[in-house]
């Protein structure tokens, strides 16, 4: 029984990787750099995107693909800022998928319009487990953690912190009001993903947002050099 289950899951991940490679070829052909933005629910991904993308990102043509179980609250917020947004809802079928997979992203690509973009940010469903298991063909993964979630999170959800290229510690304006030790968080982070790039932000006060903008803006040229 257990072996059957593992095989079903492995087949699903294999199929996902195949579609992720097809996505990747399409992204490369169109010259679009793709970022997979992941976090727990309520860590502030959308507020951060509002702060980061609201003023535009230099010459880059930026689009957002918004993943949610239900509704379009986040997409509506970003559309208000005149960011080009496409919504994916994962509640089709049964109770709702807890992550985006390569096929869901692929289905949305005709609507996204890759030919009009340089950078596509995919905001994943809020979840610290499954999004890490499903590649979507992305160039880079950003993991957002909020200081309200506790400094033990890298140890409790290691795969998530291990499979990303940038970790953003958000809501640092709350540091005086929560029992969160930044040094301990970075120590745990280093234990599960030694040397990973990390930034600290407050989408609310704007602190650190410029560094995220710079990291994102440099991504297409870093990709061209690779």
**Footprint of a copy of itself (CB under 8 A):** 2, 5-6, 8-10, 12-13, 40-42, 68-71, 73, 93-98, 125-130, 132-133, 146, 148-150, 152-153, 155-159, 171, 173-174, 177-179, 204
Q: Is residue 33 within 8 Å of residue 89, measured between CB atoms?
A: no
- Shorter beta-carbon distance to a copy of itself: residue 19 or 114: 19
* Least distance CB 25 / a copy of itself (angstroms): 20
What DSSP designation does 212 have?
H
Nearer to a copy of itself, 14 or 183 (CB): 14
Residue with Cβ nearer a copy of itself (54 or 150) = 150
**Cα gap 24→114, rounded to integer Å:** 12
Q: Provide the CA 53 distance to its chain's centre, in angstroms.
A: 14
What would the two tokens of residue 112 be? 């996204």
Cβ at position 94, least distance to a copy of itself in Å: 5
- Residue 115, Cβ density class (10 Å: 0-12 exposed, 13-18 middle, ≥19 buried): exposed
Q: Please, which residue, 142 or 216, has the CB nearer to a copy of itself?
A: 142
Question: In the complex, what is the shortest distance from the CB of residue 199 to a copy of itself, in angstroms, rounded to a whole number?
Answer: 19
């Amino acid at each position: 029984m257990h072996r059957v289950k593992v095989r079903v899951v492995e087949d699903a991940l294999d199929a996902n990787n195949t579609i992720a490679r097809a996505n990747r070829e399409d992204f490369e052909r169109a010259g679009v750099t793709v970022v997979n933005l992941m976090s727990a629910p309520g860590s502030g991904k959308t507020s951060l995107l509002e702060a980061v993308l609201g003023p535009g990102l230099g010459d880059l043509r930026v689009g957002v693909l918004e993943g949610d179980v239900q509704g379009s609250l986040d997409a509506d917020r970003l559309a208000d800022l005149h960011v080009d947004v496409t919504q994916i809802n994962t509640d089709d079928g049964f109770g709702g998928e807890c992550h985006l997979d390569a096929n869901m992203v692929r289905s949305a690509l005709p609507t996204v319009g890759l030919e009009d973009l340089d950078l596509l940010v995919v905001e994943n469903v809020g979840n610290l487990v499954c999004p890490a298991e499903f590649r979507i063909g992305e160039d880079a993964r950003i993991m957002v953690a909020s200081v309200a979630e506790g400094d033990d999170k890298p140890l409790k959800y290691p795969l998530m912190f291990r499979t990303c290229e940038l970790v953003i510690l958000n809501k640092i304006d709350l540091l005086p009001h929560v029992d969160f030790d930044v040094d301990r968080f970075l120590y745990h982070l280093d234990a599960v993903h030694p040397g990973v790039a990390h930034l600290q932000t407050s989408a609310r006060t704007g602190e650190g947002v410029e560094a995220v903008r710079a990291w994102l803006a440099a991504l297409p040229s870093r990709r061209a050099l690779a």
